[in-house]
Structure 1
């Protein structure tokens, strides 16, 4: 068995051969992005089609951290026909950067305002079909500050749900948080700053 530890400057094992795109085939477009069903050739020589969704803008997810712990939003998600407990997320608008988009999505979905915002890393939410990355951020917020949320017309959200660091493992064990982007952002947060107070050091040398 070959163990692969990474494909950066330190690499063990060989990288898998790529699946080669022969022809780019757009099948649907909207203001959010384009769905492709490309003609491809696998390393085995087999030919076929591969679906991929290319979002028009890269996404951002923000982990709000305050004295009460972590702030989540309960959002009704149409594809799964159920409520999902998530961190605020979305994509940039116009010429705004991803950090600005993260701060705006936080304010729109929760009413909370960033006191500081720092990057955590990059997430690929579903590498089997989604092409665009999602940048994760951690935001230091004051739960008593801010105002009412201002969700988009097609969004259905609750008020922020605060979960303490001590409560979080139980929430995860009970399956109360299943959003892949939220779980990945939590993993990045725990790797970079295991305790909420540590967010002040993220991104600093």
Structure 2
């Protein structure tokens, strides 16, 4: 990626200090916290947020330029979403290993070349979640291995189709929209990717 100077911001006057942290709920992978914090003006306030293990999203590029996509029902919003393949990190798992595993399990594709584009914070108001954005190409298709209770359709689409579906309100998943931005930047030559070959 292109190297730019980092802005020299002083954020000391914006920081909040944790006074006390309480675990409200611990689920399968969601950890809900309620913290008491000291604000920059010295007053106290409450902050409620989800501790998330982190995740990856994969932009899988086929030889014809098509993109590997999924349709999956997302219960919290009660609708089927169009998405790039993605999944959460297992304990101690690195981003590339997770991306390789999720692409294979969900879609059946394996990639010989990988490049990390960047990271995103999808819900900064109430969660610690960070999503690593990975590009994958030189794909071969095999059998997928969905988790128990996981149901999704795999299909391919062009970037133009994704743009149209976004304009029509059919594609509203934030991480996928960010992935489309990275894809456009890379295809336009505005960012460089450091590709690595894997077995």
How high is the TM-score relative to the length of structure 2? 0.83
Give the CA deviation at 1:98: 1.2
- Cα root mean square deviation, aligned: 2.2
Report the Cα distance in structure 1 between the residues aligned to 2:43 and 2:183, rounded to whole angstroms.
Answer: 40
> Which stretch shifts more, 161-170 or 21-30?
161-170
* Structure number with higher relative contact order (C-alpha < 8 Å, ≥ 6 residues apart): 2
Give the CA deviation at 1:178: 1.0
Report the Cα distance in structure 2 between the residues aligned to 1:64 and 1:38, rounded to whole angstroms.
Answer: 39
Report the Cα distance in structure 1 between the residues aligned to 2:21 and 2:138, rounded to whole angstroms.
Answer: 44
Residue 149 of structure 2, aligned match among 147, 154, 158: 154
Report the Cα distance in structure 2 between the residues aligned to 1:59 and 1:124, rounded to whole angstroms.
Answer: 10
Structure 2: 5+ residue stretches without partners: none
3-state SS in 1 of match to 2:61: strand
**1:15-38, CA deviations, whole angstroms, 9 ceiling, x for partnerless residues?**
461232221111011231411011
Match of 1:114 in 2: 111
Structure 1: 5+ residue stretches without partners: 1-7
Query: Which has more strand, going by share of residues?
Result: 2
Give the CA deviation at 1:99: 0.2
Give the CA deviation at 1:46: 4.2
How many residues are matched?
A: 187
**1:86-120, CA deviations, whole angstroms, 9 ceiling, x for partnerless residues?**
11111233543210110110111111111211101
Residue 93 of structure 1, aligned match among 90, 94, 104: 90
3-state SS in 2 of match to 1:43: coil
Residue 59 of structure 1, aligned match among 44, 51, 55: 55
Query: Which portions of structure 1, spanning 4 or more consecutive aligned residues, are displaced by more than 3 angstroms?
Result: 13-16
Residue 159 of structure 2, aligned match among 150, 153, 165: 165
Match of 2:6 in 1: 9
1:68/1:162 contact within 8 Å kept: no
Cα 1:82/1:141, change in 2 over 3 Å:
farther
> In the alignment, is residue 137 of structure 1 matched against residue 134 of structure 2?
yes
Residue 49 of structure 1, aligned match among 36, 46, 61: 46
Give the CA deviation at 1:147: 2.1
